[in-house]
Amino acid sequence: MPIELKDLKIPVWIYDIDNYCIHWANQPALVLWESDSLEELCSREFKSGNSQAVEARVRQYQRAFIESDVSFYENWHFVPKGVPKSVFCQFSGYVIDNSRMALLVQGMPTAKLQHEIQVNLTAMLSDYTADGRLISGNPPFLDAMGHGVSHLQDIIADPAVLKTIHRSLSQSERYEDDVLMSGVGGEHWYHLIAVNVQDDSGKEKILLQQYDIHRRKVSEITLAKEVLTDSLTGLLNRRGLDKKLNEFAISETSFDFFYIDLDGFKIINDSFGHSIGDEVLQTVADRLVENSPESSVICRFGGDEFVMVVTNAAESAGNNCVAKSILADQLVKTLSDSYYHDAQPMALSASVGVAQYPHDTDQLSNIVLYADAAMYQAKRLGKHRWIGYTAGMEQVILRQGVIAQSLSRAQSRGELELYYQPIWDFAQGSDANIISFEALLRWNNNDIPNVTTEEVIQVAESIGIINEIECWVVDQALTDLLHLRVYVSPGVTMSINVSAVHLREPTFPQCISKALQSKNLSFKDLIIELTESTLVENMADSNSVVCQLAQQAINISIDDFGTGYSSLAYLHQIPATVAKIDRSFVGQAEKNIQPLCHIKSLIEAHGMRALIEGVETQEQKDRLISCGITLQQGFFLGRPEPLDYYAKNKITGNCSQ
Ligand code: C2E
Ligand code: MG
Ligand code: MG
């Protein structure tokens, strides 16, 4: 059985637009209208009580209902018999007397609805002459905007918005947007709809409907802000930066892009803890803000990477290249100034890469890549400096990307292999021995030409697979050591290179012990090769993995000795047993052996043995032995070879070359 209108529990009534009276109402509507009977309610006259704005609005509805089958929703305020009422209404068209379009109104409770959609559905209505003078406003309008409003410009503070409204209406379009308006309580967000209507005499006027959307709008704005900012530093995040760069591109604004990466931040984070790390990042952000030209865009790009974008207009007038270099110098200097925690200095510096838009590229998608490539170059040249982009620099990064993709599958495809290079001891004169082998990683890949082991390690570090790879290296090398002891000499040990990244893994010492135990080997069978800078990084913390390894009596060898920046200052602290003099020193052996003799004495004075790598000729070998460097490694004494090579070729531990 169809429900009849009169049986509905919600108030329903039909308003006769043409005659300004209620045509029909159900019982709940009578209660709402404070009426005893339908006759009484239908006898009420609404013409004189309505403002012109409301009248215009109802006429607008009527036209819409004649044209199509639509409904409108609005919060409606009225005051029957002096009692204020607020009802959320659905307005639809309803034909009465077989020809006239009336207003079918259904009322619903509003509080919940308003809360859920965070919009106040009360329609504030006002109408104006074509040039913007107020004619009338309904009570909600007057309550919110004040009784002193006389012109549109009193409530629409931004002249640009007002201009747009007039322009839209003059092109007979409706204007609809969220607008910040001035009212009784100050500035407030409204959803505004402005349309042209005609009054009874056919004169053009403007009808304004506004809905209070302040709460929703403010939370939208806050959310949008959060989406674009970094919560730790309050700087823009990557998304925020993208937005700004797009704006620059649209307005054809040229700019310099400074890509900043902190040197040594990871160590601070690891040794002082993450909350101190966060403080340091905040300090970096503050320094950037304080030292950047006005209107620069500053962004935390990720972890310890920041970006500063300076438009050329903001840079000091004159030669842009000069401005760029002054700014870059300042950046490196300010960001590398001392940082303190509890009066304890923390070593931190910045490496910066600079790319210019559109000078270096007019593609926004390339600007980050180019500046990153320049920054990478700054790192490679020793950090704590800035480098400007030059053509082709990005090839290194692009190649790394290609290597990364392929390398991530290398282990599962069985493409990794170890080669072993012998280390000789000539201390016993002609009765020389192979005392150890260095395990060197090889990647058998057919796709990318000439990938060096250094590149493999670097990429593995950057994509976070180095630990996995090196765990495999440790296990494989110790397994092969058992074979090498059969093929070559029973007393040989194994040297393994370990990356600084892997060394930060707190479980590393346990992994090593477990691997040794599983092969029935002991700590003295293994030597861990660490570069000087890796060792120095670890010395600051007595709980560091290096210190734990030293406590476990695992032999540590300082790799590439002499290439680091701090050999003398820290040498006495490093718990190593051997220092491997870098092969770049070998060439000197043929010219002047003295410096090498000094290096050897220095190493021995610190209780270590000197080993030299990169021996390529008989003469080098002999001269080095003559100055007492008897531990040697190099192509002349044996190239790195796979295990199979030692199985097939009889290489005795004794050498009397
Ligand atoms: P490294 O530890 O200093 O190893 C010595 C490098 O010098 C090896 O290069 C070796 O092949 C090369 N070499 C040895 N003798 C001579 C010589 O007489 N002349 C010349 N010109 N070169 C010689 P390779 O195998 O390309 O390894 C390069 C670097 O890659 C290694 O330097 C080491 O730092 C790193 N590496 C290798 N395997 C691993 C690994 O498993 N983990 C880590 N973290 N790094 C590794
Ligand atoms: Mg090595
Ligand atoms: Mg080396």
Write the pLDDT tens digit of every residue in 269-327: 877 888 899 999 999 999 999 999 888 999 999 999 999 999 987 665 445 666 889 89
Specify the pLDDT at position 654: 56
Starting from the CA of residue 423, give the closest ligand.
Answer: 1
Q: Which residues pair with 581 in a beta bridge?
A: 561, 612
Please compute the mean of the pLDDT values over residues 615-638 and round it to a whole number. 95
pLDDT band at residue 197 under the 50/70/90 scheme: confident
How far apart CA 642 and CA 476 sit, in angstroms, is: 12
Q: How far is the CA of 529 from the centre of ligand 2 (A)?
A: 6
Burial bucket for residue 121 (CB in 10 Å: 0-12, 13-18, 19+): middle
Q: Which of 526, 496, 483, 519 lies closest to 644, judged by CA?
A: 483
Residues near ligand 1 with C-beta < 6 Å? 421, 440-441, 452-454, 457, 470, 473, 497-499, 529, 559-560, 583, 613-616, 633-635, 640
**Which atom of ligand 1 is nearest the CA belonging to 499?**
44
Residue of 411, 417, 438, 453 best suited for mutating to test ligand 1, as the one with most atoms within 8 Å of CB = 453
Specify the pLDDT at position 470: 95
Q: How far is the CA of 438 from the centre of ligand 2 (A)?
A: 7
Starting from the CA of residue 614, give the closest ligand.
Answer: 1
Specify the pLDDT at position 48: 78
Average pLDDT value for the chain? 88
Please compute the mean of the pLDDT values over residues 26-42 and round it to a whole number. 92
Starting from the CA of residue 615, give the closest ligand.
Answer: 1
User: Is the sign of the CA dihedral 57, 61, 66, 67 positive or negative?
Assistant: positive
Q: How far is the CA of 95 from the centre of ligand 1 (A)?
A: 92
**Which atom of ligand 1 is nearest the CA belonging to 640?**
11
Please compute the mean of the pLDDT values over residues 405-433 and round it to a whole number. 92
Specify the pLDDT at position 1: 41
Q: How far is the CA of 613 from the centre of ligand 3 (A)?
A: 7
User: Is the sign of the CA dihedral 517, 519, 524, 529 positive or negative?
Assistant: negative
Q: How far is the CA of 530 from the centre of ligand 1 (A)?
A: 12
How far apart CA 586 and CA 591 sit, in angstroms, is: 10
Please compute the mean of the pLDDT values over residues 500-526 and round it to a whole number. 91
Give SS3 for 207: strand
Look-up of token digits 């510096």: 349
How far apart CA 380 and CA 385 sit, in angstroms, is: 10
Find the range with the poorest average confidence among 55-69, 146-160, 577-591: 55-69
Q: How far is the CA of 560 from the centre of ligand 3 (A)?
A: 4
How far apart CA 472 and CA 453 sit, in angstroms, is: 16
Residue of 462, 497, 636 best suited for mutating to test ligand 1, as the one with most atoms within 8 Å of CB = 497
Specify the pLDDT at position 116: 47
Please compute the mean of the pLDDT values over residues 349-376 and round it to a whole number. 95
Specify the pLDDT at position 315: 63
Check whether 364 has a pLDDT greater than 90.
yes
Distances (CA, A) of 382 to 156, 257, 266, 500, 565: 58, 21, 17, 16, 9
Between 3 and 439, the more confident residue is 439
**Which atom of ligand 1 is nearest the CA belonging to 440?**
38
Nearest CA to ligand 1 atom 19: 614
Please compute the mean of the pLDDT values over residues 132-161 and round it to a whole number. 92
Find the range with the poorest average confidence among 30-39, 60-69, 612-621: 60-69
Nearest CA to ligand 1 atom 33: 497
The token duo for 519 is 């092969």
Specify the pLDDT at position 2: 46
Between 535 and 483, the more confident residue is 483
Nearest CA to ligand 1 atom 21: 614
Q: How far is the CA of 639 from the centre of ligand 3 (A)?
A: 14
Q: How far is the CA of 440 from the centre of ligand 1 (A)?
A: 6
Write the pLDDT tens digit of every residue in 5-17: 556 677 889 999 9
- Encode 211-257 in three state secondary structure: EECHHHHHHHHHHHHHHHECCCCCCECHHHHHHHHHHHHHCCCCEEE
Q: How far is the CA of 271 from the centre of ligand 3 (A)?
A: 27
Check whether 193 has a pLDDT greater than 70.
yes
Give SS3 for 553: coil
Please compute the mean of the pLDDT values over residues 251-280 and round it to a whole number. 90
Q: How far is the CA of 615 from the centre of ligand 3 (A)?
A: 12
Q: How far is the CA of 403 from the centre of ligand 1 (A)?
A: 19
**Which atom of ligand 1 is nearest the CA belonging to 531?**
34
Residue of 443, 456, 613, 632 best suited for mutating to test ligand 1, as the one with most atoms within 8 Å of CB = 613
Q: How far is the CA of 578 from the centre of ligand 1 (A)?
A: 17
Nearest CA to ligand 1 atom 11: 640
Q: Which of 479, 494, 403, 408 lies closest to 447, judged by CA?
A: 403
Amino acid at 456: V
pLDDT band at residue 601 under the 50/70/90 scheme: very high
Nearest CA to ligand 1 atom 20: 614
**Which atom of ligand 1 is nearest the CA belonging to 616?**
18
Starting from the CA of residue 529, give the closest ligand.
Answer: 2
**Which atom of ligand 1 is nearest the CA belonging to 441?**
38
**Which atom of ligand 1 is nearest the CA belonging to 473?**
41
Cβ atoms 495, 529 nearer than 8 A: yes
Check whether 54 has a pLDDT greater than 60.
yes
Starting from the CA of residue 640, give the closest ligand.
Answer: 1
pLDDT band at residue 211 under the 50/70/90 scheme: confident
Task: Using a pLDDT cut of 90, give the percent of the chain over it.
Answer: 58
The token duo for 196 is 């042209």
Check whether 227 has a pLDDT greater than 90.
no
Nearest CA to ligand 1 atom 12: 614
Cβ atoms 354, 376 nearer than 8 A: no
Write the pLDDT tens digit of every residue in 472-505: 999 999 999 999 999 999 999 999 999 988 988 8
